[in-house]
Amino acid sequence: MKLNTNKFRVKPGSKIKLHSIKSQVTSLYRDSDDYEKQLSKFQGDLRTLQGKFYASQDYSFLIVFQGMDTAGKDGAIAHVMSGVNPQGCKVATFKQPSEEELKHDFLWRTVSQLPARGQIGIFNRSYYEDVLVTRVHKSILDNNKIPKKLMKAGHFWRDRYQDISNHEAYLERQGTHVIKFFLHISKEEQARRLLARLDDDSKIWKISDSDFRERKFWDKYQDAYEHTLSSTSSKQSPWYVIPSDDKKNARLIMSKIVLEQLGSLDIHYPKVSDARYKELMKLRKTL
């Protein structure tokens, strides 16, 4: 499958307007069988590449998933990353912060979940919640133990974006490569998915009252995402806006990007010294 992934990448400094970005694009698969075939190949390629990545122990790789409710984050993680060895992959989910977490800076709770060298880390939601949910519902900041003087500063959000960008730049300099996916769905598609969950016994349990309450703030969330994407996409830690009305299409696009980005790192299997090689050949004779 030929796909120019750069068209989904947010250029640093660009001003994003989500209403002008399609949430559905031409299908990359002919039918369900073709989709399964393509995804299976991606999973196999990723498994092979991850083996080398894990053995090298040079870099760590962090994938951030963000999106509106029902955007498909859980499914994307389950399908796209199902090919990796669990030993070298760690998934962290961030929901409403605890009392202990609120006593610290907003990046604190995610730092301990960062992937070690040789590991792929996945953040299902992330520190970006603190420039999304808190921007839509500013009253949440009242519980965040932040000095009132700082919250009233006119550059509060600009500073938070800068903190995030500095954090990701620091991670990059330490060998942690960060890529970020925004799963872009339409408001109409979200409604269809919520209705489908209501009619599906295996999914109705996923629905919470907040799913319906938060729809009232759709436009405010879109605005918050636009500011976030525009302010925090960099050459080293890019955002990708993934058209996600078609879940299968979105998974294929993200699979391609993960492979490209992971493959761009300078990773190699560790070399065995001549002395160690001779020792292994001696041991081989004992078999």
User: Percent of the chain at pLDDT above 90?
Assistant: 81
Model confidence at 245, pLDDT cuts 50, 70, 90, reads: very high
In this prediction, residue 185 carries a pLDDT of 98
Model confidence at 56, pLDDT cuts 50, 70, 90, reads: very high
Nearest in space to 179 (alpha carbons), one of 121, 102, 230: 121
What mean pLDDT is predicted for residues 151-167?
91
What mean pLDDT is predicted for residues 136-156?
83
Model confidence at 226, pLDDT cuts 50, 70, 90, reads: very high
> Tens of pLDDT along 16-26?
999 999 999 99
Quick one: angle between helices 73-80 and 32-56, nearest 10? 70
| Residue 102 pLDDT > 80 | yes
> Tens of pLDDT along 252-280?
999 999 999 999 999 999 998 999 999 99
Q: Does residue 145 contact residue 102 with C-beta atoms inside 8 Å?
A: yes
Q: Whole-number mean pLDDT of the chain?
A: 93
Phi and psi of 277, rounded to 5°? -60, -40
Domain ranges of the chain: 5-284
What mean pLDDT is predicted for residues 147-155?
80
Model confidence at 210, pLDDT cuts 50, 70, 90, reads: confident
What mean pLDDT is predicted for residues 159-181?
97
What mean pLDDT is predicted for residues 205-215?
87
In this prediction, residue 146 carries a pLDDT of 84
In this prediction, residue 121 carries a pLDDT of 97
Q: How far apart are the C-alpha atoms of 138 and 220, rounded to whole Å? A: 11
Model confidence at 1, pLDDT cuts 50, 70, 90, reads: low
In this prediction, residue 225 carries a pLDDT of 98
| Whether CATH 2.60.40.10 fits 5-284 | no
In this prediction, residue 227 carries a pLDDT of 97
Q: How far apart are the C-alpha atoms of 20 and 144, rounded to whole Å? A: 34
